[in-house]
């Protein structure tokens, strides 16, 4: 991050917020030089780093940032104690992580004070599984292991009770930035397997159900893009809506080959019914608003998109509010605030919009130090707290290490 004093920050924010009666203030909460700290996945669909009371934040700590992790190279899972100046306490380790999504850390909505989910792998078999961990008992409560279909957590239902499962071995093969290197892939020879796709897991019973297969996705995509028959598919960004009755995701193939890329958004009900390819493409990292509506990018505007009607339902901000509406967006838990993090010229900026009156501010830039592309990129990835008055994000400290920062909204 560029070295800015508190006075410089406040002056810059005031200048950027001439039409707003609120301001934001930043604080670095983790430090190097030895270790690198980050939360991981963007904080949409209320993926909140803070526990229920806000005493602890959960995060990852790694010893390197200049290459992808190899099998046998764990990351520490740590708690940051907000009541003790964000003191770092290691509690576990994971061997299933990457720099974009971390290990899919999610506090359990049914026990958000003490329990969180993360992904891990068996070092003997390289099979991935999801873990439910308790910070009071300091132990793993459940390991969700499925021998024939070893998937990891792909997103927790906002109301709790279920999580989605994805094959991270397949993702590592077809888009390495999203997967875990060297993990077992039970469908590596099949472009559109019937026994892989999007899973749903009941946390209480541990029952896993395949709700959408890649074979179904191939058949749904063929009328749109006939080349799908020769293109292995994978799934990204599986997102539960706030009501828990819809799931949005992208079916993708040839993702790093833009002329041949397949990138089709779908909505499906949690029981696997009503699988629907969306006619309108909403870009970036979309976020659910309420009901069937998404927030995302369309034709250079930050829009509301109705997934049932498959039409644009409105816009957010003015044309100049969001320079890149396809950046990482996160809606606050109370739905009153939207933050968009976008990169430009190797620098990350955050635009904070108050939805009630459209007032907005843009923060000064954070230097990405060249980590703005590729498998090791530092995504903006803002994630709100539960009070809807602050969000955490990753950036670089003055020592060049990847660290965590909190942006607090005042007024």
Is the pTM for the entire model greater than 0.85? yes
Residues contacting residue 7 through CB under 8 Å, at least 6 positions apart: none
pLDDT on residue 12: 45
What residue spans of 282-333 are helical by DSSP H?
Answer: none
pLDDT on residue 374: 83
Q: Which residue has the tokens 């409560």?
A: 141
- Using the CB atoms, write b or e for 260-274: b if 16+ within 10 Å: eebebbbbbebebee
What residue spans of 94-247 are helical by DSSP H?
Answer: 168-174, 214-221
Q: What are phi and psi of 280, to 5 degrees?
A: -100, 125
Q: Is the pLDDT of residue 53 over 80?
A: yes
pLDDT band of residue 19 (cuts 50, 70, 90) is low
pLDDT on residue 369: 79
pLDDT on residue 7: 43
- Percent of the chain residues topping a pLDDT of 70: 95
Q: Can you tell me the distance from the alpha carbon of 52 to that of 333, in angstroms, rounded to the nearest whole number?
A: 13
> Measuring CA to CA, which residue among 191, 112, 197, 104 is closest to residue 149?
197
Q: Can you tell me the distance from the alpha carbon of 239 to that of 43, in angstroms, rounded to the nearest whole number?
A: 11
Report all structural domains of the chain as residue ranges with CATH numbers, in order of start.
45-277 (2.120.10)
Q: Can you tell me the distance from the alpha carbon of 403 to that of 121, in angstroms, rounded to the nearest whole number?
A: 25
Tens of pLDDT, residue by residue over 321-376, are 999 999 999 999 999 999 999 988 889 999 999 999 999 999 999 988 788 888 88
CA distances from 202 to 41, 181, 199, 209, 289 (A): 22, 27, 10, 9, 24
Q: Can you tell me the distance from the alpha carbon of 281 to that of 59, in angstroms, rounded to the nearest whole number?
A: 32
Tens of pLDDT, residue by residue over 75-119, are 999 999 999 999 999 999 999 999 999 999 999 999 999 999 999
Q: Is the pLDDT of residue 1 over 70?
A: no
Tens of pLDDT, residue by residue over 161-220, are 999 999 999 999 999 999 999 999 999 989 999 999 999 999 999 999 999 999 999 999
């Amino acid at each position: 991050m560029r070295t800015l004093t508190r006075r410089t920050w406040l002056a810059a924010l005031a200048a950027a917020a001439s039409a707003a009666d609120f301001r934001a203030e930043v604080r670095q909460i983790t430090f190097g030089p030895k270790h690198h700290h980050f939360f991981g996945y963007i904080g949409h669909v209320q993926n909140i780093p803070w526990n229920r009371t806000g005493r602890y934040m959960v995060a990852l700590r790694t010893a390197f940032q200049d290459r992808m992790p190899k099998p046998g190279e764990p990351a520490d899972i740590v708690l940051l104690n907000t009541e003790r100046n964000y003191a770092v306490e290691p509690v576990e380790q994971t061997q299933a992580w990457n720099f974009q999504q971390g290990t899919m850390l999610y506090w359990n909505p049914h026990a958000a004070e003490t329990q969180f989910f993360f992904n891990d792998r068996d070092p003997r078999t390289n099979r991935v599984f999801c873990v439910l961990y308790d910070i009071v008992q300091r132990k793993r409560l459940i390991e969700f292991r499925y021998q024939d279909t070893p998937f990891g957590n792909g997103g927790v239902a906002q109301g709790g009770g279920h999580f989605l499962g994805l094959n991270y071995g397949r993702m590592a093969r077809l888009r390495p930035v999203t997967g875990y290197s060297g993990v077992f892939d039970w469908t590596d020879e099949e472009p559109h397997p019937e026994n892989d796709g999007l899973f749903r897991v009941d946390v209480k019973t541990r029952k896993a159900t395949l709700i959408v297969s890649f074979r179904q996705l191939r058949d749904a995509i063929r009328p749109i893009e006939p080349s799908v028959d020769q293109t292995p598919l994978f799934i990204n960004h599986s997102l539960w809506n706030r009501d828990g009755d819809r799931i949005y995701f992208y079916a993708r193939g040839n993702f790093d080959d833009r002329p041949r890329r397949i990138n089709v958004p779908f909505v499906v009900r949690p029981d696997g019914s009503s699988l629907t390819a969306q006619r309108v493409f909403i870009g970036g990292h979309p976020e659910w608003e309420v009901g069937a509506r998404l927030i995302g990018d369309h034709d250079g505007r930050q829009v509301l998109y109705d997934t049932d009607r498959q039409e644009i339902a409105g816009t957010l901000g003015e044309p100049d509010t969001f320079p890149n509406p396809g950046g990482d967006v996160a809606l606050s838990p109370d739905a009153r605030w939207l933050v968009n993090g976008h990169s430009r010229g190797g620098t990350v900026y955050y635009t904070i919009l108050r939805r009630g009156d459209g007032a907005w501010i843009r923060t000064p830039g954070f230097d990405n130090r060249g980590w703005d592309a590729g498998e090791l990129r530092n995504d903006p990835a803002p994630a709100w707290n539960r009070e809807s008055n602050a969000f955490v994000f990753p950036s670089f400290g003055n020592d060049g290490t990847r660290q965590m920062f909190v942006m607090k909204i005042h007024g």
